[in-house]
């Protein structure tokens, strides 16, 4: 089974990203033949700062390597290094209609807020379809917010196959965050847009500060918000005992949570600290060579089928 996933290089990760996306993606890549792509051209639909984009690409790759992606097994590369992605996206754009793309949630949200969407954002689902379909992908592990994009990829495959003959496999999504929605320090879904995050690769002090700020219900003897996050790191029996013997002792329970997060994060942080920019660049270059070999073979077939190869 072939697995393909992508991530937008969009800044520092939090514990929610780790539990909901990073950890399950790393586990799936251990089990299956996988490709992991840094979607830098997708990021260009919103970013205008070259230095920031460059740093985000390096850091996002480093985060995934630190979390356990093995670059010898999984092909790790960035989108812009494989021009076949944008090439195939163009071909798909010529097959779909404007009203079809107008149904995209990401596009509708932007327009709904009264903002002007660029044409790149409008065509975003066709670039993502190209990412996925170029590699005969079976499974696409993604967050629930990306479900529609995988549907678009299936539709693009079907439209192409109907017009030019059987070429692309229709992929299936595997929704990752159905496993757990991690609550933030205020009890709402942890999200960088709500400012309620516990940083994944922060220092121990930064993690401690965030945990200490978790809002607790002073009427309850067991702090629900602390417990909900703790349950992602320890089993129920252990926690039942811990929370029973420390009834009402919120500080003790928060300190225990800090240690339990630290036990998971510290080894990753240590790995992350020793991965140099140079190593990341080498891994991406090597990944791009492997990805490109596959993508160019697929595109040779596509060019033949649509009639541009003479």
User: Using the rule CB under 6 A, is 182 a contact of ligand ADP?
Assistant: yes
Least Cβ distance, residue 247 to ligand ADP (angstroms): 28
C-alpha–C-alpha distance, residues 263 and 258, integer Å = 9
17 binds, among ligand TRP, ligand ADP, none (CB under 5 to 8 A by kind): ligand ADP
Binding region for ligand ADP (CB under 6 A) out of 41-49, 130-138, 180-188, 220-228: 180-188
33: which strand partners?
2
Which secondary-structure segment (H or E) carries 140?
Answer: strand 139-142
Alpha-carbon distances, residue 104 vs 30, 62, 110, 112, 238 (angstroms):
32, 31, 10, 12, 45
Per rule CB under 6 A, count of chain residues that contact ligand ADP: 17
Length of the chain, please? Answer: 310
Q: Does 56 bind ligand ADP (CB under 6 A)?
A: no
From ligand ADP, ligand TRP, none, interface partner of 181 (C-beta below 5 to 8 A by class): ligand ADP
Q: Binding residue for ligand TRP (CB under 6 A) from 7, 29, 88, 288?
A: 7
Q: Which residues contact 11 (CB under 8 A, 6 or more apart)?
A: 56, 192
Is residue 268 close enough to count as binding ligand TRP by CB under 6 A?
no
Note whether 172 and 140 are within 8 A (CB).
Answer: yes
Pick from ligand ADP, ligand TRP, none: which does 42 bind, CB < 5 to 8 A by kind? ligand TRP
The angle that helices 277-306 and 50-66 make with each other, rounded to 10 degrees, is 100
Residues serving a catalytic function are 110, 189, 192
Distance CA 249, CA 187 (A): 19
Q: Which does 39 bind (CB under 5 to 8 A by kind): ligand TRP, ligand ADP, none?
A: ligand TRP
3-state secondary structure 214-252: CCCCCCCCCCHHHHHHHCCCCCHHHHHHHHHHCCCCHHH
Rule CB under 6 A: say whether 225 interacts with ligand TRP: no
Query: Alpha-carbon distance 259 to 231, whole Å?
Result: 13
Site for ligand ADP in 184-243 (CB under 6 A): 189-193
Residues 11-50 close enough to bind ligand TRP by CB under 6 A: 39, 42
Stretch of 43-51, 175-183, 211-219, 227-235 contacting ligand ADP, by CB under 6 A: 175-183
| Contact (Cβ atoms closer than 8 angstroms) between residue 41 and residue 135 | no
Binding-site string for ligand TRP from residue 127 to residue 166, where x marks contact by CB under 6 A and - marks none: -x--xx-------x-x---x--x-----------------
Residues binding ligand TRP (CB under 6 A): 4-8, 39, 42, 128, 131-132, 140, 142, 146, 149
């Amino acid at each position: 089974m072939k697995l393909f996933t992508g991530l937008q290089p969009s800044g520092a990760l939090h514990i929610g990203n780790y539990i909901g996306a990073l950890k399950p993606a790393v586990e799936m890549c251990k089990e299956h033949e996988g490709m992991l792509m840094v979607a830098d051209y997708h990021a260009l639909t919103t970013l205008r700062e070259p230095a920031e984009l460059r740093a985000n690409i390096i850091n996002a790759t480093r985060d995934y390597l630190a979390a356990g992606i093995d670059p010898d097994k999984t092909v790790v590369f960035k989108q812009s290094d494989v021009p076949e992605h944008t090439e195939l996206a163009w071909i798909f754009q010529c097959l779909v209609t404007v009203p079809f793309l107008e149904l995209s949630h990401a596009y509708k949200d932007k327009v709904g807020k009264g903002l002007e969407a660029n044409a790149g954002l409008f065509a975003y689902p066709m670039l993502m379809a190209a990412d996925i379909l170029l590699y005969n992908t079976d499974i696409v592990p993604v967050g629930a917010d990306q479900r529609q994009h995988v549907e678009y990829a299936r539709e693009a495959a079907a439209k192409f196959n109907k017009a030019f003959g059987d070429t692309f496999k229709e992929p299936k999504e595997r929704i990752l965050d159905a496993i757990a929605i991690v609550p933030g320090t205020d009890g709402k879904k942890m999200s960088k847009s709500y400012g309620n995050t516990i940083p994944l690769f922060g220092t121990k002090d930064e993690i401690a500060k965030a945990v200490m700020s978790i809002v607790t219900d002073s009427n309850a003897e067991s702090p629900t918000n602390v417990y909900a996050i703790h349950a992602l790191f320890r089993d129920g029996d252990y926690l039942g005992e811990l929370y029973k013997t420390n009834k009402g002792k919120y500080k003790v329970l928060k300190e225990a949570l800090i240690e339990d997060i630290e036990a998971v994060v510290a080894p990753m942080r240590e790995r992350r600290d020793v991965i140099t920019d140079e190593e990341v660049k080498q891994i991406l270059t090597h990944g791009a060579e492997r990805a490109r070999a596959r993508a160019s073979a697929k595109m040779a077939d596509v060019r033949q089928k649509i009639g541009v190869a003479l």
